[in-house]
């Protein structure tokens, strides 16, 4: 028309977006009406959907990558030809920074005495661990044999026997340990009479 207005056939695709249904949308690039599932979600847009369809968006990305593909080797040669001293100094500084960040710590040389002392220390730790394991295993074995002996004496003597700690675990003056050399098999009457007392010589004191 002469007044500059457009008829219905000349309507802008962006204006036709509002006239389309919720299941379809007009692509801003190819001006085709497509299903809403063929568009990408975009929070910036008014209705939360991008104005360009997925196919057109992919074509744009391919064209941008093809046009903007950089050749770093050629760029370095061009920069090196323009200002070689500056580029070499920059690369040397970058190499030094990387080396300082990833270099190994200097190895400290030890004397023969320090090496020998370190070996003895490690050996003592190893033996201490073996001793703890050996003592625990021996304690379990002695305790098992002591209870077996208690049962045999019960049958042989017709009165009760107990597996007792020579140094009581919760004594009034001293406390012993549950170890193999602190176990004994004594009559139950003596064990009940002595309680938690200890005479300090190696025998439990009977009250």
Rounded Cα gap, residues 19 and 17, in angstroms: 5
Domain endpoint, select from 38, 67, 96:
67
Phi, psi of 75 (to 5 degrees): -65, -40
- The predicted-structure confidence for 115-136, as pLDDT tens digits, reads as follows 888 888 888 877 777 767 777 8
- Model pLDDT, residue 205: 44
Which residue in this structure is represented by tokens 């549950």? 178
pLDDT (average), residues 9-35: 66
Rounded-to-integer distance, Cα 118 and Cα 136, Å:
27
Average pLDDT, the chain: 78
Record the tokens describing residue 183, joined without a space.
């176990």
**Residue 96 within a domain:** no
Q: Which DSSP category does 68 fall into? A: T
Confidence of residue 149 (pLDDT cuts 50, 70, 90): very high
CATH number, domain at 34?
A: 3.30.60
Q: Residue 161 sits in which domain range?
A: 124-194
Residue 161 in tokens: 């026997």
Cβ-in-10-Å burial (0-12, 13-18, 19+) of 106 comes to exposed
Binning pLDDT at 50, 70 and 90, where does residue 201 land? low
Matching residue, tokens 């010589």? 201
Please give the tally of structural domains in the chain. 2
Indicate whether 201 belongs to any domain.
no
Domain-located, residue 115: no
At 94, list the tokens: 């970058």
Structural domain contains residue 48: yes
What share of the chain has pLDDT > 90, as a percent?
14
What is the DSSP code string of 46-91? TTSEEEEEHHHHHHHHHHHHHHT---HHHHHHHHHHH-HHHHHHHH
- 12-36 mean pLDDT: 70
Q: What are the tens digits of pLDDT across the range 160-187?
A: 999 998 888 887 777 878 888 889 999 9
């Amino acid at each position: 028309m002469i007044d500059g207005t457009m008829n219905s056939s000349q309507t802008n695709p962006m204006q036709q977006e509002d006239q389309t249904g919720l299941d379809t949308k007009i692509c801003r690039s190819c001006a085709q009406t497509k299903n809403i599932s063929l568009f990408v979600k975009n929070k910036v847009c008014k209705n939360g959907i991008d104005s360009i369809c997925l196919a057109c968006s992919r074509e744009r990305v391919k064209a941008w990558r093809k046009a903007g593909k950089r050749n770093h080797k050629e760029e370095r040669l061009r920069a090196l030809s323009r200002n070689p001293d500056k580029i070499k100094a920059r690369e040397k500084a970058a190499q030094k920074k990387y080396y300082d960040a990833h270099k190994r710590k200097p190895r400290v040389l030890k004397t023969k005495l320090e090496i020998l002392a370190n070996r003895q220390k490690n050996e003592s730790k190893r033996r201490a661990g073996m001793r703890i394991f050996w003592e625990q295993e021996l304690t379990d074995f002695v305790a098992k044999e002591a209870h077996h002996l208690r049962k045999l004496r019960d049958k042989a003597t017709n009165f009760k026997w107990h597996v007792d700690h020579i140094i009581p675990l919760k004594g009034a003056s001293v406390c012993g340990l549950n170890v193999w050399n602190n176990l004994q098999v004594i009559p139950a009457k003596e064990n009940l009479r002595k309680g938690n007392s200890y005479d300090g010589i190696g025998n439990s004191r009977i009250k």
